[in-house]
Amino acid sequence: MADFDQAFEIMMRNEGGYTLHQVAGDRGGQTYAGIARHFNPGWRGWVLIDQQGVDSPMLSQAVRDFYAVEFWQRISGDQVESQPVANSIFDFAVNAGVKTVSKLVQVVVGSTPDGVIGAKTIARINTTDSEKFILKFSLAKVARYAQICNRDRSQRKFLLGWMNRTIAGLS
């Protein structure tokens, strides 16, 4: 079965590591380690950052716990047999959201897209050839990014980064 720690390390590199920043036009606003304050105002790490700054000794554990609970568990990452497949699903869940990734995965494996990765979807993921899954899933991600940029031109500045993230997941 897939290992959270491996997927987490890859995702953290893709998110830019443990940095606090704000990018103009990013809907998430202030972000630390990929966790957007606008979308996750109740995350316990914001209190640590606001009171102690980014050097708080408890901050890295707060980040790890957040991703384990809010993403890894919700995509049933521990039940995915292929580590590269789990890495790809987890990374895109962080980038696009759990419901979006779940529906995309379900389309790729031929399940009904209800937005929840349950036992039937896991069974299909685990019986799909890993390389084929990753290729089809990558194409589906690219199509999703194109839709975002076509719908909202202000998001085009993120397209190259999204594409690079997708391509990196192919190796």
Integer Cα distance of 9 and 126 in angstroms: 22
Cα of 118 vs its chain's centroid, Å: 18
Rounded to an integer, the average pLDDT of 88-96 is: 94
User: Is pLDDT of 109 > 90?
Assistant: yes
Domains and their CATH numbers in the chain: 4-168 (1.20.141.10)
Bridge partners (DSSP) listed for residue 128: none
- What HEC string does 134-165 produce? HHHHHHHHHHHHHHHHHHCHHHHHHHHHHHHH
3-state helix, strand, coil in the chain (%, to 5): 65, 5, 30
Residue 25 is predicted with a pLDDT of 72
Question: pTM of this prediction?
Answer: 0.88
pLDDT tens digits along 123-141: 999 999 999 999 999 999 9
Residue 81 is predicted with a pLDDT of 98
Residue 115 is predicted with a pLDDT of 95
- Do 29 and 36 contact (CB within 8 A), yes or no? yes
Residue 27 is predicted with a pLDDT of 76
